[in-house]
């Protein structure tokens, strides 16, 4: 539930520049460490500790000694194009800008108060050899965003139809069919869950677990229906006997889920809807966090125990998001791509031992501790390098 929301931008304001990147070399470029260039942004000046550097990974350690929120920019030789920036540096705060810089002429400038042309604009020269980078990244970025939006629309479209079928069985009292459809229908949602999370109230309405609901708030969505389809014993229900929902109550919860799913559909089919490149990468990271926090613990599907279905769908969604940006990342950090390719495949192999979405999975409560540990190890093995994806992508 608490993953990084997949940010939605109204305009495709993606400015991924070939000059930026963040593949740290091992020369030691931490704040104040070897290689760091310090920037003092005061009310009146933008004092950079050096006016030149050698090409490669540069770290500007920006300190705001003024009393207004400031920004620092590294501009190209036209004095306009932004090569790298740090924003929202509060008074007294320090923040690093890490850029991969090609040889050439640049400008450094600070912008206390965050408006106007900035102050202390000064020349900055990068000498040395050209750093090997990809050619036209922008084209790849645009294509990745386009493809991912198409994927979201496809999944939400399938979710709408699947939910209709599921709810028809549920409201007509055909519990056996509804139970069969429950986990597989949810897969369309679990693949793109961070998208719904980006729309504020939508994910809580659709996917909250009983434990997530605040006192006084109404519990709705998939898991409310899950509990009714897989009713707990009194012992598993805090000592009280579970009271099944009436036909009217069933219809009421079904209508609500249907409406909320339609709202999600309308939102992602809005012509202005698009996703930024970092949102795609954060979506991949967020989906694996979902697995680590909810599925590997058996907390997501506490009544149906269908956590491995969600696990598979989260993994597929993360893989699609990753694949969308993979080629761009490869030009910047081929080692990371190699590791991620291996770890995605390895985790999928481990999970496949317990079934598939087509044939069904082992229920979570039937897994041994050793089996859960093995899955958890695979999730950590993938999640740790995956957490570098956004930084490598947008640098």
39: alpha, beta or left? (left if phi > 0; alpha if psi -120 to 50): beta
* 190 or 278: CB nearest other proteins: 278
Total residues contacting other proteins by CB under 8 A comes to: 48
Residues 6+ apart with CB under 8 A from 15: 82
| Smallest distance from other proteins to CB 284, Å | 13
Nearest by Cα to 55 from 1, 121, 102, 104: 102
CA distance linking residue 217 with residue 215, whole number of Å: 6
Given the rule CB under 8 A, which of 87-95, 207-215, 227-235, 296-304 is the region that contacts other proteins? 87-95
Out of 15, 55, 68, 94, name the contact with other proteins by CB under 8 A. Answer: 94
Cα distances from 157 to residues 55, 60, 262, 271, in angstroms, run: 48, 46, 9, 15
Site string for other proteins, 298-337 (x = CB under 8 A): ----------------------------------------
Cβ atoms of 339 and 315 closer than 8 Å: no
The candidate with the shortest Cα–Cα distance to 256, out of 226, 229, 219, 213, is: 219
Percent helix, percent strand, percent coil in the chain, to nearest 5? 50, 15, 35
Contact status: 110 vs other proteins (CB under 8 A): no
Among 83, 98, 296, 308, binds other proteins (CB under 8 A): 98
Burial profile 20-47: b = 16 or more Cβ within 10 angstroms, e = fewer: bbbbbeeeebeeeeebbbbbbbbeeebb
Stretch that binds other proteins, among 31-39, 220-228, 289-297, 320-328 (CB under 8 A): 31-39
- Among 315, 325, 323, residue whose Cα is nearest residue 286: 315
Establish if 383 lies at the interface with other proteins (CB under 8 A). Answer: yes
By C-beta, is 185 or 276 nearer to other proteins? Answer: 276
The distance from CA 119 to its chain's CA centroid, rounded to whole angstroms, is 35
Distance of closest approach, residue 203 Cβ to other proteins, in angstroms: 23
Nearest distance in Å: CB 237, other proteins? 23
- Minimum distance, C-beta of residue 290 to other proteins, in the bound complex (Å): 17
Q: Is 40 in the site for other proteins (CB under 8 A)?
A: yes
Number of residues that make up the chain:
395
CB nearer to other proteins: pick between 169 and 277: 277
Q: How far is the CB of 370 from other proteins (least distance, A)?
A: 9
Which residues are near other proteins by CB under 8 A?
Answer: 22, 24-34, 36, 38-40, 47, 49, 59, 61, 63, 65, 86, 92-96, 98, 278, 339, 343, 346, 373, 377, 380-385, 387-388, 390-392, 394-395
């Amino acid at each position: 539930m608490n993953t990084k929301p997949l940010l939605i931008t109204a305009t495709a304001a993606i400015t991924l520049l070939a000059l930026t990147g963040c593949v740290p070399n091992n020369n030691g470029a931490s704040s104040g460490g070897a290689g760091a260039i310090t920037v003092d942004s005061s009310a009146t000046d933008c004092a950079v500790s050096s006016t030149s550097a050698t090409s490669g990974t540069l770290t500007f350690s920006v300190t705001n000694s003024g009393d207004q929120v400031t920004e620092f920019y590294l501009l190209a030789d036209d004095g306009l194009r932004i090569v790298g920036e740090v924003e929202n540096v509060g008074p007294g705060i320090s923040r690093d800008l890490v850029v991969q810089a090609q040889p050439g002429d640049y400008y450094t400038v600070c912008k206390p108060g965050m408006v106007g042309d900035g102050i202390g604009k000064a020349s900055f020269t990068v000498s040395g050899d050209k750093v090997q980078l990809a050619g036209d990244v922008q084209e790849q970025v645009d294509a990745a965003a386009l493809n991912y939006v198409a994927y979201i629309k496809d999944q939400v479209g399938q979710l709408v139809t699947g939910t209709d079928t599921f709810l028809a069985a549920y409201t007509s009292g055909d519990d056996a069919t509804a139970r069969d459809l429950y986990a597989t229908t949810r897969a369309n949602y679990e693949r793109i869950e961070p998208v719904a999370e980006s729309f504020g109230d939508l994910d809580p309405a659709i996917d909250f677990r009983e434990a997530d609901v605040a006192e006084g708030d109404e519990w709705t969505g998939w898991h409310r229906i899950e509990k009714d389809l897989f009713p707990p014993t009194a012992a598993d229900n805090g000592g009280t006997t579970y009271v099944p929902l009436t036909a009217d109550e069933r219809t009421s919860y079904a209508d609500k889920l249907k409406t909320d799913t339609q709202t999600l559909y309308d939102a992602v089919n809005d012509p202005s809807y698009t996703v930024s490149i970092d949102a795609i990468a954060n979506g991949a990271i967020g989906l694996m966090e979902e697995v680590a926090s909810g599925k590997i613990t058996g907390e997501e599907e506490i009544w149906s125990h269908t956590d491995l279905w969600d696990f598979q769908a989260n993994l597929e969604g993360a893989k699609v998001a990753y694949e969308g940006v993979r080629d761009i990342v490869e030009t910047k950090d081929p080692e990371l791509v190699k590791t991620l390719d291996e770890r995605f495949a390895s985790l999928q192999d481990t999970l496949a031992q317990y079934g598939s979405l087509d044939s069904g999975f082992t229920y979570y409560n039937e897994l041994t501790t050793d089996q859960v540990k093995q899955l958890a190890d695979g999730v950590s093995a993938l999640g740790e390098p995956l957490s570098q994806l956004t930084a490598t992508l947008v640098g």
